[in-house]
Amino acid sequence: MTKQAINSDPFRKIWDFFSSVKLTVVLLLTLALTSIIGTLIPQNESPQAYLKAFGAFLYRFFDVLGFFDLYHSWWFQALMLLLALNVLVCSIDRLSATWRIIFPERPKFNLSRFRRLEPKEEFTKNGPAEALQKPYHAIISRKFRYCRVEKTDSGYAIFGEKGRWTRIGVYIVHLSIICMLVGGVIGSILGFEGFVNLAPGEGSQQIQLRNRNQVLKLDFTIRCDDFKVRFYPSGAPEEFRSSLSIIEGDEVVKTRDIIVNDPLRYKGISIYQASYGQLPARQQDIQLPDEFTLVFTSKTTGKIYRTKAKIGQKIEIGEGLGNFIVNEFKTSYNFRGQDLGVTFFGTLHQSDGAEVDVVLPIQFPSFDKMGPIFNKMRKDDVVISISDIKAEPAEIRYYTGLQVSSDPGVWVVYTGFILIIAGCFVTFFMSHRQICVCVDILESGKKCRIMITGSANKNKLGNEQKLKSIAQILSDESLDLG
């Protein structure tokens, strides 16, 4: 009756559920299997990209299941939470049950248990048993931290043990898992991850948050004083370096160069050198030759006229097609959302007297063929293009890509890192070992028989070898005299 009552206690049931190792195995394997999905589907891409890759039906299906941000989906986080609870409950359950065994006031040795243990090392020695007690005690206490001698019915026994504390190693490992998960949660609640792109000389107080369409305002301004990229002969980047200043109010409070792997930290916020990119060229950076060649193609005759020209110079085209003046150039020209680069702008006086604007991007010589399509005033009788011109900026200018983030949980996570390494080492490679050396008096004290057994909670094979080597030392002839 009472047993049933205990079993139907809901709290007890929940506790038992979370303290089972079956749950651990199931959770670990489920986490392993579901994590694979997130490595097969690229994470956090745009909905358009997913729609294109998977089609409407699969897209809806995957979206509902959270496959596009799998590791932050509610069910994956729930699995992690379950694992954390499982680890916690298991540890408390077992630790509370075994605490007394791990840390007794005085270790107990059960002689009859040791006598039954296999394998054992046995040998006999001539001489009184008492003579062996001192040297044996010395040897055992040198190898084992705790050592004591007890009288037995037929002589005495020397017990030794060490490494009792190593039994808590596994709880250290479990604690470390909790630490890492808690640190991760702290980071995701209190921390942020953002980025900002700065041209040299530019400063910003605002950063763009990653994976969220949000801007965060910092307490200080980050200014990029200078940015330099060095390349290897192969063209791969060798180093990129930003000189940054942190400005609070009007005062520069910190100045430092950062490179990849060497961030700047200020007020709990870290600024990392993450990437770089090319800035569009400035007007004054572009050196154009004074003269360039204009090419006029007559549609009616198919003839091509090439003429040298300068900005502001009026050119008669011939065939009565009118005249043309190049007015100016710009370093960029936005055509339907695309930058066409360095572009000349001119005016065409047509034979019908109308004045029309002509756009000549130097990278796209046949661009003017579309002129009559865009402008109804334009007569479709001549195509104009520009040639023999290169407009490369004197120097390529780069902006620096900075990652700005803050993670107050990182030290909790790092504590977890240290604990897991220490805990695994203790759990895997150190063991709680006991030894018992029984000395039994034979033939009324002239001889004695020595039996050595021992136990270890881990690495039993290793322990057997160690027992053998101790037996070798104890059976050494030179000890007889002592």
Partner 1 sequence: MSGSLILSIVTFIYGLAGFLYICAWIFRKQIFGRIATWVALVGLSGNTAGILVRWVESYQLGIGHAPFSNLYESLVFFALVIVLIYLIIERKIQNRIIGAFTIPIACLVMAYASLKPGITSAIQPLIPALKSNWLIAHVITCFIGYAAFALAFGVSAMYLMKKGRDDEPITWTKIVNPLILFVFAALFSRVLFISNWLVATLIAIPICLGFYAIVYLVRNLPAESKAKLLDRFPDTRILDELGYQLILLGFLFLSIGIITGAVWANSAWGRYWGWDPKETWSLITWFVYATLLHARLMRGWHGKRIAFLSMIGFAAVLFTYFGVNLLPGLHSYGSF
Contacts to partner 1 by CB under 8 A: 21-22, 24-25, 28-29, 31-32, 35-36, 38-40, 42-43, 71, 184, 193, 232, 234, 236-240, 259-263, 270, 272-274, 403-405, 407, 410, 413-414, 417, 420-421, 424-425, 428-429, 459-461
Minimal distance, residue 289 CB to partner 1, in Å = 38
- Taking the C-alpha atoms of residue 230 and residue 236, their distance in angstroms, rounded to an integer, is 9
Minimal distance, residue 75 CB to partner 1, in Å = 15
Minimum CB distance to partner 1 smaller for 264 or for 470: 264
Minimal distance, residue 181 CB to partner 1, in Å = 11
Query: What is the number of other CB atoms lying within 10 angstroms of the CB of residue 198?
Result: 19
- Taking the C-alpha atoms of residue 254 and residue 251, their distance in angstroms, rounded to an integer, is 9
Minimal distance, residue 55 CB to partner 1, in Å = 19
Q: Would you state the structure tokens that stand for residue 442, as one six-digit string?
A: 């034979």
Radius of gyration of the chain (CA): 41
Minimum CB distance to partner 1 smaller for 22 or for 108: 22
Beta strand ranges found along 350-476 (DSSP E): 355-361, 382-387, 398-406, 433-442, 447-456
Compute, in degrees rounded to 10, the torsion defined by CA atoms 212, 217, 221, 224. 20
Minimum CB distance to partner 1 smaller for 160 or for 263: 263
- Taking the C-alpha atoms of residue 301 and residue 294, their distance in angstroms, rounded to an integer, is 18
Q: Would you state the structure tokens that stand for residue 376, as one six-digit string?
A: 């109804």
Minimal distance, residue 347 CB to partner 1, in Å = 49
- Amino acid, res. 450: I
SS3 content of the chain, % helix, strand, coil (to 5): 40, 35, 25
Minimal distance, residue 72 CB to partner 1, in Å = 9
Cis peptide preceding 233, ω within 30 of 0: no
Are the C-beta atoms of residues 184 and 413 closer than 8 Å to each other?
Answer: yes
Minimal distance, residue 247 CB to partner 1, in Å = 21
Reduce the DSSP state of residue 246 to 3 states and report it. strand
Minimum CB distance to partner 1 smaller for 229 or for 441: 229
Minimum CB distance to partner 1 smaller for 71 or for 374: 71
Minimum CB distance to partner 1 smaller for 24 or for 208: 24
Minimum CB distance to partner 1 smaller for 50 or for 329: 50
Minimum CB distance to partner 1 smaller for 103 or for 428: 428
- Taking the C-alpha atoms of residue 343 and residue 156, their distance in angstroms, rounded to an integer, is 103
The tokens 């695994």 sit on which residue?
Answer: 424
Minimal distance, residue 201 CB to partner 1, in Å = 23
- In a 10 Å sphere around its CB, with 0-12 CB exposed, 13-18 middle and 19+ buried, how is residue 273 labelled? buried
- Taking the C-alpha atoms of residue 157 and residue 77, their distance in angstroms, rounded to an integer, is 56
Minimum CB distance to partner 1 smaller for 34 or for 141: 34
Minimal distance, residue 208 CB to partner 1, in Å = 14
Minimal distance, residue 406 CB to partner 1, in Å = 9
Minimum CB distance to partner 1 smaller for 29 or for 58: 29
Tell me which DSSP letter residue 28 carries: H
- Taking the C-alpha atoms of residue 400 and residue 228, their distance in angstroms, rounded to an integer, is 9
The string of DSSP codes covering 306-337 is: EEEE-TT-EEE-STT--EEEEEEEES--EETT
